Amino acid sequence: MAINLDDPKKFRTLAGQAHQVAMNMLRPISRKYDLAEHEYPKELDMLAAMIDGLSESGAAEGAGAAGVRRDEKSDDGANKNGANLASVMSIQEMCWGDVGLLLSMPRQGLGNSAIASVADEEQLKRFEGVWAGMAITEPGTGSDSANIKTTAVLDGDEYVLNGEKIYVTSGDRADHIVVWATLDRDLGRAAIKSFVVPKGTPGMRVDRLEHKLGIRASDTATIIFENCRVPKENLLGSAEVDPKQGFAGAMATFDNTRPLVAAMAIGCATAALDLTRELLTDAGVEIDYDRPGLAQSAAAAKFLQLESDLEGARLLMLQAAWMADNRKPNSLEASMAKAKAGRVGSDVTLSCVELCGAVGYSESELLEKWARDSKILDIFEGTQQIQQLIVARRVLGLSSAELK
């Protein structure tokens, strides 16, 4: 069977529109909100309303946060290019404009992906249109999401949440927060569930906002839960603790969001390469695709190497998203895509700063900003090291207890 590596025709218009938005709406305000950290980018309201309208009309499948539904199968066995593939293609283009602004988009939070992946039909309808941040990381927990200490105790018709969450993207701006908590610490991973908590619920408070190296347009919050009561209907998916199923319900969210983070890294790195190509050409450096790198200048050879590394990451990202659309288990591929794109994204953006010298380091261009922004994409949603651990476990067929 022939493999076609071209972008699906039906999504090219969507990707083209996303590129126009990135170029005309995001790029012009990129530096403004990098300097004005924690100030809400009001320009995004109109853009979010436009994306909502497109999504409702069905004209932009995948413009918003999609989910991985493990319990559904592809109906007819035919190849399906769906919402996940469309999402990574459009997100890549938007992050060519600005990663921090993309992360600040109303109603496109990581919590929205959690809802899309784990919620039942009634919950999908009830939480439609919310802007949901996702609260996973805790002090002392680091990348080990299975070691969550925040507790959820059933009391009548409500769960009582207690704990502290850090590094919550859109934690102050979102109107709902998806909180990961354990029903019973003694039962380990299997007891971890996610809960949708509306902003303003008594017992929940935003404690502080973080100052960061990059993605400064995006607010990152610490949120405290003290006897915070939420209706038991707000537990996403099943409340049953199934040791065989384990962490799968919660981790389905990551199988969806890791290719999205890969797309962010690829979009940001592509922006850096595009500008670097222009600057090198202006400086008289010729990049020749018909000659091997060894026969060209060091700068041209380095540029060709960066471009090929990025293309490898892009193909892994597309594969992981395509598998999600076709209801194929994609945990291995999602982690491979995220690991490769995160590492390559940082390498590309920093190398572009280096190739462009003083111009790359100066705020006269956005290259230094893209180098700062891209680093987080190798860290959040599971660090580079954690991704490699997941890949090793999958390839070797070992459990998390067997390979730590």
- Cα dist. 22→57, 85, 109 in Å? 22, 19, 18
Q: What is the CA radius of gyration of the chain?
A: 21
Element (H, E) at 166: strand 158-169
* HEC assignment per residue over 247-296: CHHHHHHHHHHHHHHHHHHHHHHHHHHHHHHHHHHHCCCCCCCCCCHHHC
Query: Is the separation of the CB atoms in 355 and 281 below 8 Å?
Result: no
Query: What is the CA angle 235-237-243, rounded to 5?
Result: 100
Q: How far apart are CA 297 and CA 349, in angstroms?
A: 20
What DSSP element (H or E) covers 195?
strand 192-198
381 is catalytic: yes
- Tokens at 264, concatenated: 């962010």
Residue 72: burial class (beta carbons within 10 Å; 0-12, 13-18, 19+): exposed
Nearest to residue 193, comparing CAs of 118, 271, 291, 109?
Answer: 118
Q: How far is the C-alpha of 184 from the C-alpha of 150, rounded, in Å?
A: 10
Separation CA 116–CA 154 (nearest Å): 24
Give CA–CA dist 273/56, Å, rounded: 35
Distance CA 44, CA 26 (A): 9
Nearest to 175 by CA among 128, 138, 211: 128
Catalytic residue among 61, 333, 365, 381: 381
Does residue 117 contact residue 67 with C-beta atoms inside 8 Å?
yes
Helix (H, G, I), strand (E, B) or coil at 153: strand
Query: CB neighbours of 59 closer than 8 A, spacing ≥ 6?
Result: none
Q: Is 44 helix (H, G, I), strand (E, B) or coil?
A: helix
Angstrom distance (rounded) from CA 239 to CA 248: 13
The residues annotated as belonging to the active site are 381
